[in-house]
């Protein structure tokens, strides 16, 4: 509930009590600012009547103010402002920001790029879903839901930035079937570990880091020798990840974590070649840290050697670690 006592220059006082359309503290504060602007401008209660329409409200909610120039930007024009003003400011991971840019460029802009931000309503979310499904029927429901979420976040950010209350709309996320995560059966995993040792010591250590310790691909690529501790017990101290050939502070969970090592993982890491100036544990040609593609290539070689039908996707090993941990 918003309760305002407004004092006019001529000495009059007007009290306005209204229910906020958004039942949160931030929503109520934004609604209060709208009402105050309308009272100060003398437009409160003077909404323009539509032909054939009679208002039943004595004090209707004022219409949202427009950005500079008299109207809000289009979705396409506002895309980069959203990235800079929201995603970067909120310190989202670079991979997340790149994903948002791709969604805006490939899906949202083609379907709704010319629509003004303040004109977005529930129907536009349905339009986006239909456009994406028609353009690429093979798109997963998760991809479509990601696009709907980005659009919703983008519109709400514009209203918040302008100090306005966003209208109510439904994104209409697609209901997704639960999919069981893929993992290696115990015998199959041991077969892969043995095959990786035959391929080479680096591939052997890669497989064990993901399967015995549960590291993500980016964490493996960013692993430094000083992240490996042997005292008082053998552990890995994970505090960075690698994306687009750059080490980034923090893991996906945004905080360092300590992972115990199995005896065979300790032995595999000790068997790796190392020079005194080498910072990263794993290097590719040119003494450069591994890339995601390089990891996938090495894992695919191990799968082929083990006679396993696979594509070198590293997350299957992380799922295997989690499954073994639960068991």
Residue range 41-85, pLDDT digits in tens: 777 665 433 444 433 333 443 343 344 445 789 999 999 999 999
10 Å CB burial of residue 79 (0-12, 13-18, 19+) is: buried
Runs of H (alpha helix) within 19-107? 25-41, 75-82, 94-103
287 with 280: CB under 8 angstroms?
A: no
pTM higher than 0.85: no
Between 145 and 34, whose confidence is greater? 145
**Which of the four pLDDT bands, split at 50, 70 and 90, describes residue 323?**
confident
User: For the chain, what is the largest distance between any 2 Cα atoms, rounded to a whole number of angstroms?
Assistant: 90
10 Å CB burial of residue 9 (0-12, 13-18, 19+) is: exposed
Tokens of 116: 């003004």
Dihedral-angle region of residue 291 (phi above 0 means left; psi in -120 to 50 means alpha; beta otherwise)? beta
Distance CA 132, CA 113 (A): 14
Could you give the percent of the chain with pLDDT greater than 90?
47
Q: How high is the pLDDT of residue 62?
A: 38
Distance CA 58, CA 30 (A): 21
- The SS3 assignment for 290 reads coil
CA angle centred on 242, ends 268 and 291, rounded to 5°: 70
Any idea what DSSP says for residue 283?
E
What mean pLDDT, rounded, does the chain reach? Answer: 84
- Range name among 26-30, 76-80, 139-143, 287-291 with the lowest pLDDT average: 26-30
Distance CA 102, CA 96 (A): 10
């Amino acid at each position: 509930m918003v309760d305002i006592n407004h004092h006019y220059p001529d000495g009059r006082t007007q009290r306005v009590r209204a229910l906020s359309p958004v039942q949160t503290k931030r929503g109520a504060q934004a609604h209060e600012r709208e009402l105050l602007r309308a009272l100060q401008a003398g437009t409160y209660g003077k909404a323009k009547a539509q032909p054939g329409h009679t208002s039943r409200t004595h004090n209707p909610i004022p219409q949202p103010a427009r950005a500079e120039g008299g109207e809000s930007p289009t979705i396409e024009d506002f895309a980069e402002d959203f990235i800079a003003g929201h995603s970067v400011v909120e310190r989202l991971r670079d991979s997340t920001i790149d994903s948002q840019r791709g969604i805006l460029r490939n899906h949202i802009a083609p379907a709704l790029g010319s629509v003004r931000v303040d004109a977005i309503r529930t129907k536009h979310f349905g339009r986006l879903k239909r456009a994406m499904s028609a353009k690429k029927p093979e798109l997963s429901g998760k991809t479509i839901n990601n696009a709907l979420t980005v659009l919703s976040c983008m519109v709400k950010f514009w209203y918040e930035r302008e100090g306005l209350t966003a209208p109510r709309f439904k994104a209409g996320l697609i209901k997704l079937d639960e999919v069981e995560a893929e993992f290696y059966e115990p015998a199959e995993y041991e077969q892969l570990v043995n095959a990786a040792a035959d391929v080479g010591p680096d591939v052997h250590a890669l497989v064990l880091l993901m399967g015995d310790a549960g590291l993500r691909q980016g964490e493996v690529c960013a692993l430094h020798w000083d992240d490996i501790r042997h005292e008082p017990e053998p552990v890995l101290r994970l505090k960075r990840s690698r994306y687009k050939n750059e080490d980034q502070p923090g893991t996906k969970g945004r905080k360092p974590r300590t992972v115990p090592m199995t005896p065979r993982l300790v032995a595999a890491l000790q068997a790796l070649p190392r020079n005194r100036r080498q910072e990263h544990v794993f290097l590719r040609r040119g003494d450069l840290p591994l890339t995601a593609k390089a990891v996938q290539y090495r894992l695919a070689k191990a799968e082929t050697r083990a006679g396993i039908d696979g594509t070198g996707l590293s997350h299957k090993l992380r799922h295997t670690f989690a499954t073994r941990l639960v068991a």
